[in-house]
Chains A and B, each alone.
Chain A
């Protein structure tokens, strides 16, 4: 059974650019959550999607957005990148929102 797949694994972008990260959940999982991990702030919740609907959102500016497709694959987008957006972005999926989540290996974004 394939795990949660995140692409790309590494990304370098310039300030002001935008970026799209992709997450393919485990087959059959309908809930996808996104987290940002930085040395200073630790792991912080970005948003959660279930059946193409955003159910929860963390305290991040509007530059951070996401969506989920009918096949449960999810993307997150960050517009007008800032240096502080450099982080490991983790995606996690679950079959139900009250079960444990399986995390992907993450996308490491570096903004220069």
Chain B
């Protein structure tokens, strides 16, 4: 079965700093999904990456997919308190999102 490892497990950054979260898969990635979760709440869809080398950006968040390395990265530029939460990567089986395997999550805190 596929496993996703996220690093770091937790992160504390000062407001305005940049940060990167990595997600490494034990198997070939056919598609990679990034979600954000506030504690005890549902997941908020951030981005979906489907092709090797693909890069997507939304506001100050950029995600990339490196298929060869079986890895994806999420980069936040000029972090804000609103970025705080748990970031989760999820991989679908054979490119679908209907049965996602999730990483263990990265807890991000942004200090003032």
Q: Is the CB of A33 within 8 A of B40?
A: no
Chain B proximity mask over A34-51: 1 for CB below 8 Å, otherwise 0: 010000001111001010
CB contact under 8 A between A45 and B101, given known A98-B95, A100-B48: yes
A42 CB to closest chain B CB (Å) equals 5
A107 CB to closest chain B CB (Å) equals 10
Please indicate the chain A residues that have their CB under 8 angstroms from the CB of B97 in the complex: 94, 97-101
Chain A proximity mask over B69-112: 1 for CB below 8 Å, otherwise 0: 00000000000000000001010100111111111110000000
Please indicate the chain A residues that have their CB under 8 angstroms from the CB of B101 in the complex: 45
* Tally of contacts, chain A with chain B, CB under 8 A: 65
Q: Is the CB of A108 within 8 A of B45?
A: no
Q: Is the CB of B41 within 8 A of A105?
A: yes
Please indicate the chain B residues that have their CB under 8 angstroms from the CB of A35 in the complex: 100, 102
Main secondary structure of the interface of A (DSSP, over half): strand
Give Cα A105 to B38, complex, Å. 10
Q: Is the CB of A105 within 8 A of B42?
A: yes
Q: Is the CB of A98 within 8 A of B96?
A: yes
Q: A31 — nearest CB in chain B belongs to which residue?
A: B98
Q: Is the CB of A56 within 8 A of B98?
A: yes
Indicate which residue in A4, A48, A99, A108 contacts B99 across the interface (CB closer than 8 Å). A48
A22 CB to closest chain B CB (Å) equals 15
Indicate which residue in A42, A48, A103, A104 contacts B98 across the interface (CB closer than 8 Å). A48
Please indicate the chain A residues that have their CB under 8 angstroms from the CB of B102 in the complex: 35, 42-44
A-contacting residues of B (Cβ < 8 Å)? 31, 33, 35, 40-45, 48, 88, 90, 92, 95-105
B-contacting residues of A (Cβ < 8 Å)? 4, 6, 31, 33, 35, 42-45, 48, 50, 55-56, 58, 88, 90, 92, 94, 97-106, 108
Can you offer 24 A-B residue contacts whose CB atoms are under 8 A?
Answer: A33-B98, A35-B100, A42-B103, A44-B102, A45-B101, A48-B98, A48-B99, A88-B40, A90-B43, A97-B96, A97-B97, A98-B95, A98-B97, A98-B98, A99-B97, A100-B33, A100-B97, A101-B45, A101-B98, A102-B45, A103-B43, A105-B41, A106-B40, A106-B42
